[in-house]
Structure 1
Amino acid sequence: MSQLTVLFMPESAYGPTNNCIGIGDVLRRRGHRVVFAAEASWRGKLTALGFEEDLVDLAPPPENVEEQDAGQFWKDFIRDTAPEFRKPTIEQLETWVKPVWVELINGARYCQPRLLEIIDRVRPDVVVEDNVVAFPALNTAGVPFVRIVSCNPLEMKGQDIAPVFSGYPAADRSGWAAFRAEYDRVHRPVWEEFDAWVREQGAPGLPELEFIHEGDLNLYVYPGVADYADARPLGPTWQRLESSVRETDDEFTMPAELADRDGALIYFSLGSLGSADVELMRRVIDSLAKTPHRYIVSKGPLHAEIELAENMWGAEFLPQTKIIPRADLVITHGGNNTTTEAFHFGKPMIVLPLFWDQYDNAQRVDELGFGVRLDPYRFTDEQLHGAIKRLLADEDLRGRLAAHGAAIRAADGLRQAADAIERLGITAGTPR
């Protein structure tokens, strides 16, 4: 097969970037050239995995600041706005969701000239974006455009599914109309301005009240067992991957302090962004310390401020895809990567949603019986300990999840995605 040049542009957060890393690694090992136009704070982290980097700034670089950690902007943003997460989701539309869209749009505007230069220099055969806003340079590159959706499937909207970002139940439509109306009121002026700018760059207009175009190929990372396929069927350009779990994580050796203890093994992570809420991390850790189980804790960017109990071990970064298979239970913020990885390995979840798609993932896990949704700021010890006890004791659930996990792994989403990108690139023309 002729070599393709594939340009990936993920959102500057670990979830989307790790998803692109997993797919890109398969393409790279097949002999294709894989280039990442990631945000500049990822410098060196992608070349270490064998990829080319041609990076972009999404805002003017801060003066007199040493090199930032990967995705540092969003870590700071989450830390500073964490009080908003205590509000009902409909109230967050104005004070949290809209500011996120504005920041994302500002990034797309700022990097447009640089991204045009990268495309001219790299000359990709296919461009792949895992983000939630359009980057017009990708849509005007003259080559196939692939969109990856690695939030949750409510992002592909429908009248018969709950509104995205709401966390509302599928079986109760009483709040849907009000939430959609408020979303429209808050976001329509932002969308109209962004749509006009996107058109000025020569890209097609955006779909109604959407901030990103559909692609020539659209890949979404969610297992069919939890999807809304019957209520919201998708068109022929959409392909579900079941999962997309990277194979680049380091191996994991069980720490002696946990290996020598009794109790179930539980993995706890609020993600690279959620763990920036140190107060919340400490609260969950204090509650888990009162149980007889063992915990592996992803401590995140402010790891130095987080002290673990005797029944715990953790670090700033952990090879999550090597740890979850060994866990009996996952306690998560409900980010799409961790949620779909728990499905991939057939593990029950306790979900403590903080923002964005996490409410919807938490609700879906809970309403399908695959785990328990708890309010991260209002749960009691009794609620958390009771959920742990119930999920660990539910042998029927554990068996069903193990079977679902086996089927999801057999679908091999990474290679599904790589195959689809290859087909699109080869069909579109002669690779450069």
Structure 2
Amino acid sequence: MARVLIVNIPAEGHVNPTLGLVKQLIDRGEEVVYVCTEEYRNKVLQTGAEFRSYPFQVDPFSYDPDLKPAPYKHPSQFANMVVRGIIQKIVPEILQVIEGDKYDYFIFDSLMGWGGTIIAQRLGIPAVCSIASFAFVDPLGSEQGLIDDDIENVYESTLELAQQLATQFNVPAPSIQELTKHAGQLKLVYTSRYLQPKADQLDDSFYFAGTSVVPRKDAPNLPLAQLLDPHKQTVYIAMGTILNRDLAFYKLCFDAFQHLPIQFILSSGKDTDMGSLADCIPSNFIVRPYIPQLEVLERADAFVTHAGMNSVSEALYYNVPMVMIPLTSDQPLVSNRVQELGAGITLDHHTLTAEVLRETLMQVLGDSSYRQQAGHIGESLRQAGGYIQAADTIIRQFSKIKQQI
């Protein structure tokens, strides 16, 4: 039996994919200590892991200026977000939470970047990088690579801060590339090689586990059998848990879809005040603050989404084609890949109109090829092995390392 440390960032799309893995590790006799923010305590405790929290601003990706999602025009901006928004703020807190503890290996979220390397080096143990999005063959922002005076300043200030942190933690200073590099002896990616862009450029240290789908015990009960008309198509609309307060977008959906003979289910977000739109909700819409997403996707004919990796992976797992409206971060990369493989259509949120949104949805619903391609990708995700084989791979990997010591 090994003692395992898992550290994650406070985001649903990064915590949810790890839960099945944690349960499997525990079922195989591993002792797991999971460190995240307090809001994820109950979700983690349900796996059987020991939970510890580090202090962090509630909903930081909405309110923290260093973490608030934004389009990256150059890799230095992404590196700056990782160092300033995540490493500087949470690594000292995590080290304090685990001070004096002994572990055999360590699993950390890929958005921690070099921060995961710092913790692994301080503990003197091997590490697994948990990648909840695509593995980045190229850092975010590389596709544009714009350089101006602001980018130069970001580059210099990022390296300066990294040098200060290296001194503080008594570890070697990193290069700009190492700040966001997927580190660790093993990189666990929650997708398939088929869906992963440029998979042929990734070495054997990357293990593709497929979508990690486990029942969510904290999901609200929604009597779908009573609410849904079996004679109508069902379309699910959700914009994730970070960028879901855009009332103008919800009004656009109401205007676009109100006269269609389709049942729409819209997840507005638990912190979104829909009061000003209460009189605008059409009769063919079910609107709730929080929806049991997996249950809805099992029944959905299409999904209107921001193209967050977790949402897209879960939709494809259930063979659901998509209308994708990427907003920031890795979402354009995700949506472009799904469109490239024929399982959905990407729209530009800057020029989006009700007419375009309606016509695009009807195209996805009316052309069976989108459903077929979503099913092809879904099969690759289901056949990848999931968290069961991922747990086997991790235990086997670190059993070998332990025997060599």
In which range does the TM-score fall when normalised by the shorter chain?
0.7 to 0.9
Q: 2:96 is paired with a residue of what secondary structure?
A: helix
Specify which of 31, 44, 61 is matched with residue 74 of structure 1.
Answer: 61
Q: CA deviation at 1:225?
A: 2.6
Q: Which has the higher contact order (CA 8 A, sep 6+)?
A: 1
Is the 1:23–1:418 contact (alpha carbons within 8 Å) kept by the matching residues of 2?
yes
Q: CA deviation at 1:243?
A: 2.3
The corresponding residue for 1:138 is 120
Is the 1:144–1:216 contact (alpha carbons within 8 Å) kept by the matching residues of 2?
yes
Structure 2 counterparts to residues 122-133 of structure 1, below 5 A: 122-133=101-112
The corresponding residue for 2:361 is 388
The corresponding residue for 1:274 is 243
- Counterpart Cα distance in 2 of 1:329 and 1:304: 25
Q: What amino acid sits opposite 1:410 in the alignment?
A: Q
Q: 2:36 is paired with a residue of what secondary structure?
A: coil
TM-score (structure 2 length as normaliser): 0.85
Q: What amino acid sits opposite 1:406 in the alignment?
A: E
The corresponding residue for 1:192 is 159
- Counterpart Cα distance in 1 of 2:291 and 2:343: 24
- Counterpart Cα distance in 2 of 1:204 and 1:322: 47
Is the 1:268–1:330 contact (alpha carbons within 8 Å) kept by the matching residues of 2?
yes
The corresponding residue for 1:170 is none
Q: Percent identity?
A: 22
Question: Which is worse superposed, 420-429 or 378-387?
Answer: 420-429
Q: What CA deviation, in whole Å up to 9, does each residue of 1:388-416 have, x standing for no partner?
A: 11111222332332233133212222123
Structure 2 counterparts to residues 28-67 of structure 1, below 5 A: 28-58=26-56
Is the 1:139–1:145 contact (alpha carbons within 8 Å) kept by the matching residues of 2?
no
Q: What amino acid sits opposite 1:245 in the alignment?
A: V
Indicate yes or no: 2:403 matched with 1:426.
no
- Counterpart Cα distance in 2 of 1:197 and 1:322: 47
Structure 2 counterparts to residues 20-419 of structure 1, below 5 A: 20-58=18-56, 68=58, 72-77=59-64, 89=71, 98=77, 101-102=80-81, 105-133=84-112, 134-135=114-115, 136-153=118-135, 155-157=136-138, 164-165=140-141, 176=143, 179=145, 181=147, 185=152, 187-200=154-167, 201-213=169-181, 214-229=183-198, 233-249=201-217, 250=219, 254-255=223-224, 258-260=227-229, 262-305=231-274, 307=278, 308-419=281-392
Q: What amino acid sits opposite 1:199 in the alignment?
A: A
Q: 2:348 is paired with a residue of what secondary structure?
A: coil
Q: What CA deviation, in whole Å up to 9, does each residue of 1:315-368 have, x standing for no partner?
A: 322222222121111111011101112222221111111110111112222233
- Counterpart Cα distance in 2 of 1:260 and 1:429: 56
- Counterpart Cα distance in 2 of 1:40 and 1:101: 25
Is the 1:35–1:51 contact (alpha carbons within 8 Å) kept by the matching residues of 2?
yes
Is the 1:258–1:294 contact (alpha carbons within 8 Å) kept by the matching residues of 2?
no
Task: Give the paired residue count.
Answer: 391
- Counterpart Cα distance in 1 of 2:351 and 2:54: 39
Q: What amino acid sits opposite 1:429 in the alignment?
A: K
Change in Cα spacing, 1:362 to 1:396, as seen in structure 2 (3 Å) is closer
Q: 2:201 is paired with a residue of what secondary structure?
A: coil
Change in Cα spacing, 1:185 to 1:409, as seen in structure 2 (3 Å) is same
Structure 1 unaligned blocks of 5 or more:
60-67, 158-162, 167-175
Q: CA deviation at 1:207?
A: 4.6
Change in Cα spacing, 1:81 to 1:287, as seen in structure 2 (3 Å) is farther
Is the 2:186–2:205 contact (alpha carbons within 8 Å) kept by the matching residues of 1?
yes
Q: What amino acid sits opposite 2:140 in the alignment?
A: V
Change in Cα spacing, 1:371 to 1:107, as seen in structure 2 (3 Å) is closer
Is the 1:8–1:20 contact (alpha carbons within 8 Å) kept by the matching residues of 2?
no
Q: What CA deviation, in whole Å up to 9, does each residue of 1:108-131 have, x standing for no partner?
A: 224434322333444222211114
- Counterpart Cα distance in 1 of 2:392 and 2:14: 19
Question: Which is worse superposed, 206-215 or 252-261?
Answer: 252-261
- Counterpart Cα distance in 2 of 1:29 and 1:289: 48
Q: CA deviation at 1:104?
A: 5.6
Q: 2:389 is paired with a residue of what secondary structure?
A: helix
Q: What CA deviation, in whole Å up to 9, does each residue of 1:280-308 have, x standing for no partner?
A: 33333442334221122222132442644
Is the 1:255–1:313 contact (alpha carbons within 8 Å) kept by the matching residues of 2?
no
Change in Cα spacing, 1:113 to 1:248, as seen in structure 2 (3 Å) is same
Q: What amino acid sits opposite 2:137 in the alignment?
A: M
Q: CA deviation at 1:35?
A: 1.7
RMSD: 3.1
